Amino acid sequence: MTSNLVDRFLRYVRIHTTSQEDIDEIPSTKRQFDLAHLLVTELQGLGLMDASVDEHCYVIATIPSNISQELTAKVPTLCLLAHMDTSPEEPGENVNPQIIQNYDGKEITLPSNPDLTISPEQTPSLKKFIGSDIITSDGTTLLGGDDKAGVAVIMTVIDTLVNNSSLKHGTIKIVFTPDEEVGHGVDALDVEALGADIGYTIDGDEMGVLESETFNAAGGTITIKGFNFHPGYAKDKLINALHTMGDILLQFPRDQAPETTEKMEGYYHVYEASGSVNEAKIRFILRDFDSTELHQKMQRMEEIVNQMKERYPKTKIKLDLKEQYKNMKYQLDKVPHVIEYAEEAIKRAGVDVIRKPVRGGTDGARLSYMGLPTPNIFAGSINFHSKKEFVPVIAMEKSVETILNLIQIYVEKSI
Ligand SMILES: [Zn+2]
C-alpha cells in the first residue's frame, strides 16, 4: 500500500492546480482540470466506471456496495471528499518534492532554498515522526499536501476496497472538488443529486486530527478612489488613495490578528493591500467561532469605513463585505454518532485523537449547511499554505487505515 500511496501523492503534487481569488467561474483556474482528468482515468482504472468530471471540475464516482441489498439499505451512504486545488498564497507550480528517508529528528533543510528550514523547535510535532519518511517541497513552492495528501489517501482507500472483497462496505461516493482554497469548493456541487447521507472531508492536517468546529467567516474589500495629478502642480487637486489606505490599515486591531491569536480567539486579517494614487484596495477577512462576535466584527469594519469617510471627505471609500461560511458545529451536534464513529476509527488505527477547532473553514462546513453533515479527518500534511509544508508518510498511511476502519464501523453498527 505504502509505495502506491506515496507514488500517487508525488504524482498529484507535481500537477499545478493553484486556484485564484476573485474569479466568478468555477473552477477559478482551468489547470485544475489537469488533475481532475487524471483522477477520472485512475478511478476508471480502479473499476469505478461511473467516474466523471463535470464542467465545474467536480470529479464524482461511486464505489458500489458489496453487501446484501437489505443491509445496503441500512448502511448510510458515505461520501469521501478532498480538494484538488492548492492555495494561491504560495507558488504551486513546478513542485519538486523530496523524500527524507528515516527522519533523524534534526532540522530539515530545503534544497533549493537554503534560507528556509523546518525545525523541531518551530514545528514540535516533527519529533513524533522520527524514523518515518517525510516529504517536503524543495523550498521554492508549497508542497500541496493540502489537500493532495487527502486525494492520495482516498484513491488508496478505493484501491484497497476494490481489491479486498473481504472488506465489507455500503455505497460510497467519492468527490474531488476544485477551488476550496478560495472559498468556493462546493458552490456548484449538487449535494442532493449526490445521494449521500454523511460526508467526511479528508483535509485535516496532523495525524489524529478530527475537526467538527470551524470559524464563522466573512470577507471583504475596501476600495479607495483618489485622483491623480502632476505632482508639481497638484496643490488642492491631487487626492492620494494611498494615504487613506495607510490610515485604514492602521485601524485594524493588531491584538486581534492571526499572528496574535490562537485557539478559540477570532481575528481581523488584512491579506492584501495594493494600489496607486488613483485607486487602492484592501482585502481582508474576519473570523470568529461565535457568530454574534463575527457580526460585531463586521459592524466594526463598517464603523472604520464611516470614520475614514469623514476624515477623508474627498476620497471615495467603498466597503464590500459578506459572510462566507458558518461554524459547522451547530449542524454536527444534531448527529453525534458521525463524530463518535470517526473517533473510534482513529483509535482503531492506533492513533491518539486530536480534537481541535479549525481555525479556518472546510468544504465540510458549507456541506453541513447544505444537508450533508461533514466533519474533517486528518490527511497528515503539516504547515499548510507554506513552503515549509511537509507530510510524514506514516500519517497518510494512518489516514487510509482510519477511513477503512470508519467504513467498517458504519457496516458493524448497522447490522
Ligand atoms: Zn485544504
In terms of CATH architecture, what is 2-214+327-412? 3-Layer(aba) Sandwich (3.40)
pLDDT of residue 79: 98
pLDDT of residue 1: 64
Q: How many whole angstroms from its chain centre is CA 12?
A: 16
CATH 3.30.70.360 occupies which residues in the chain? 216-325
What tens-digit pLDDT sequence spans the chain (415 residues)? 678 999 999 999 999 999 999 999 999 999 999 999 999 999 999 999 999 999 999 999 999 999 999 999 999 999 999 999 999 999 999 999 999 999 999 999 999 999 999 999 999 999 999 999 999 999 999 999 999 999 999 999 999 999 999 999 999 999 999 999 998 899 999 999 999 999 999 999 999 999 999 999 999 999 999 999 999 999 999 999 999 999 999 999 999 999 999 999 999 999 999 999 999 999 999 999 999 999 999 999 999 999 999 999 999 999 999 998 889 998 999 999 999 999 999 999 999 999 989 888 778 988 999 999 999 999 999 999 999 999 999 999 999 999 999 999 999 999 8
Query: Which residue reads 463535470 in cell numbers?
Result: 54
- Measured in Å, residue 393 CA sits from the centre of ligand 1 at 18
- Measured in Å, residue 85 CA sits from the centre of ligand 1 at 8
DSSP 110: P
Q: At 239, phi and psi to the nearest 5?
A: -120, 115
From CA 1, how far away is CA 3, in angstroms rounded? 6
Q: What contacts 24+ positions apart, CB below 8 Å, involve 225-228? A: 225/278, 225/279, 225/315, 225/316, 225/317, 225/318, 226/277, 226/278, 226/279, 226/280, 226/315, 227/277, 227/278, 227/314, 228/276, 228/277, 228/278
- Measured in Å, residue 45 CA sits from the centre of ligand 1 at 26
- Measured in Å, residue 6 CA sits from the centre of ligand 1 at 18
From CA 381, how far away is CA 95, in angstroms rounded? 15
Cβ distance 113 to 142 under 8 Å?
A: no
CATH number attached to the domain at 216-325: 3.30.70.360
Cβ distance 189 to 175 under 8 Å?
A: yes
Positions annotated as catalytic residues are 85, 180
CATH 3.40.630.10 occupies which residues in the chain? 2-214+327-412
- Measured in Å, residue 149 CA sits from the centre of ligand 1 at 9
pLDDT of residue 325: 84
DSSP 56: T
Cβ distance 385 to 146 under 8 Å?
A: yes
End-to-end CA distance of the chain: 29
Q: Which three cell numbers stand for residue 372?
A: 450533508
- Measured in Å, residue 67 CA sits from the centre of ligand 1 at 32
- Measured in Å, residue 147 CA sits from the centre of ligand 1 at 5
From CA 167, how far away is CA 122, in angstroms rounded? 41
Q: What is the pTM of this model?
A: 0.84
Q: Which three cell numbers stand for residue 89?
A: 498564497
Query: Which residue reads 492546480 in cell numbers?
Result: 17
Residues 6+ apart with CB under 8 A from 121: none
- Measured in Å, residue 371 CA sits from the centre of ligand 1 at 21
Largest Cα separation within the chain, whole Å, is 84
- Measured in Å, residue 362 CA sits from the centre of ligand 1 at 7
